[in-house]
Amino acid sequence: MSTAALLQALRAELGAAQVLSEGDLSAYEMDWRRRYPGRALAVVRPGSTAEVASVMRQCAAHGVALVPQGGNTGLVGGGVPDASGRQILLSLQRLNKVRAIDAANLTMTVEAGCVLQAVQQAAAAQGLLFPLSLAAEGSCTIGGNLATNAGGTAVLRYGNARDLCLGLEVVTAQGEVLQGLSGLRKDNTGYDLRHLFIGSEGTLGVITAATLKLYPQPAARMTALAACDTLEAAVALLGLAQARAGSGLTGFELMNRFSLDLVRRHFAQLRQPLPPCPWTVLLEVSDTESEAHARGVFEGLLESALERGLIDDAAIAETLEQSHAMWHLRESIPLAQAEEGLNIKHDIALPISLIPQFVARTDAALQAAIPGIRMVDFGHLGDGNLHYNVQAPEGFDAAAFLREHEPAVNRIVFDAVQAHGGSISAEHGIGQLKREELAERKDPVALALMRSIKQALDPQGLLNPGRLI
């Protein structure tokens, strides 16, 4: 059967306006980092679960592969078609309804294409909190968040996307609908299939809706920036903050000097409350009692950190605007980096206790290999998750730097990650970017089991081929 017949069938089913094969489709075909320009056979935009299932059945009947896509903010090239022009790009963006909010059960059920920020706002409108939060929240979707098991800035307290999901509705590779929406916190009736699809990056099924966990909104939130001389001090500050604030510690982000220098350079309008220092930590404490109570905890914590010599300086946000401005600084780092030019990204997880040693040794090895490289080192220290990114030496052509040095840089970093018992992907996933690295470094038994799961669920290999495994 020809691809023309497939497109004709899809147009008959969804309407011609939702099956795009001409004009500028780069918003769907090019990834956010502009590293993987693809070309789709067509961009298909179903408006309901039944339509997703029907598209899947048509693709299966014609043996055509399909790439699911939400907000296209993924950083590993997993959500764009390859360059062959033979894959269908399945956009979930029109599945964007909040189906239900159950305040007493602290759950909400939303469709996969709901933008994360819209989900947060729908929860807030009921006085509740959906805690998943990341810099791309204005455009990434819940489906994409679950498919990549996204992390972000609230993992420390509330867990990652996996921990916030109680149930899923999924269209299988055969075009059947798995009805797994459930607001149950306990359900031991066999294999928990939801966890197979979460983090599977669109390779096992298409997520069409999810039931999510909600939390009460905290009464108050306080934010501060603190200056540390060493990474050892930042790790000790984390221990102190956990001891003092307990589960009230809802954010602990790390930024090295160069990452904030990049923000100074490219977003000069953003005020930086602290002078440049080797390591800046952003702390957030949430409190269920009151603002006064939160302030008491926070001031006690920072005073104690000053006394112990863990920090040299700190700035507490006095208003909500100042708090947003502090978070905005942190969230501007990926954009400032992109402005500076292409770079080699490493989204890695390590035991927190080993992070100072890892950074000291790996920085030194990288500088020895390529003198003058610049380290953009920031991330979610509270989760042991660093964005350990390598920018070309000042004045170097970024594209040429990547061409010449990316394999060697990756080897140095990932060897060190492995030697320290870490993971080569903490929260962004594998996609195309790290597929070979995964094949080389993952436990062979785990890889074999992953392949048999893929074979069992998608024997024709239609779902996001060439990604992840």
d(CA 416, CA 294): 39
Instruction: Tell me which amino acid residue 340 is.
Output: E
Residues 355/231, Cβ–Cβ less than 8 Å: yes
Segment lying near ligand FAD (by CB under 6 A), choices 70-78, 307-315, 398-406, 439-447: 70-78
Using CB under 6 A as the binding rule, whether residue 405 contacts ligand FAD is answered as no
Residues 271/295, Cβ–Cβ less than 8 Å: no
Sign of the torsion angle spanned by Cα atoms 229, 231, 235, 238: positive
**Shortest reach from residue 89's CB to ligand FAD, in Å:** 9
Q: Which is nearer to ligand FAD, 78 or 248 (CB)?
A: 78
Segment lying near ligand FAD (by CB under 6 A), choices 150-158, 180-188, 243-251, 280-288: 150-158
Q: Which is nearer to ligand FAD, 107 or 200 (CB)?
A: 200
d(CA 153, CA 421): 23
Q: Which is nearer to ligand FAD, 201 or 377 (CB)?
A: 201
Using CB under 6 A as the binding rule, whether residue 36 contacts ligand FAD is answered as no
- Output the six-digit token pair for 62: 């014609």
Sole binder of ligand FAD in the list 38, 46, 70, 167 (CB under 6 A) = 70
**Shortest reach from residue 173's CB to ligand FAD, in Å:** 11
Interaction residues for ligand FAD, span 89-148 (CB under 6 A):
92, 112, 134-136, 140-141, 143-145, 147-148
- Output the six-digit token pair for 129: 């909190």
Sole binder of ligand FAD in the list 49, 54, 58, 72 (CB under 6 A) = 72
- 409: part of which helix (H) or strand (E)? helix 398-419
φ/ψ (deg, to 5) at 434: -120, 15
- Output the six-digit token pair for 209: 């809706």
**Shortest reach from residue 373's CB to ligand FAD, in Å:** 22
d(CA 157, CA 286): 10
- Output the six-digit token pair for 195: 């966890």
Using CB under 6 A as the binding rule, whether residue 75 contacts ligand FAD is answered as yes
What's the DSSP call for residue 85?
S
**Residues 6+ positions from 280 with CB-CB distance below 8 Å:** 225, 226, 227, 228, 254, 255, 256, 257, 260, 274
Mask for 230-269, x = binds ligand FAD (CB under 6 A): ----------------------------------------
For the chain, the first-to-last Cα distance in angstroms comes to: 28
Q: Which is nearer to ligand FAD, 374 or 467 (CB)?
A: 467
Q: Which is nearer to ligand FAD, 107 or 145 (CB)?
A: 145
Using CB under 6 A as the binding rule, whether residue 207 contacts ligand FAD is answered as yes
Provide the binding-site residues for ligand FAD, judged by CB under 6 A. 32, 67-75, 78-79, 92, 112, 134-136, 140-141, 143-145, 147-148, 150-152, 201-202, 206-207, 334, 427-428, 431, 464, 467
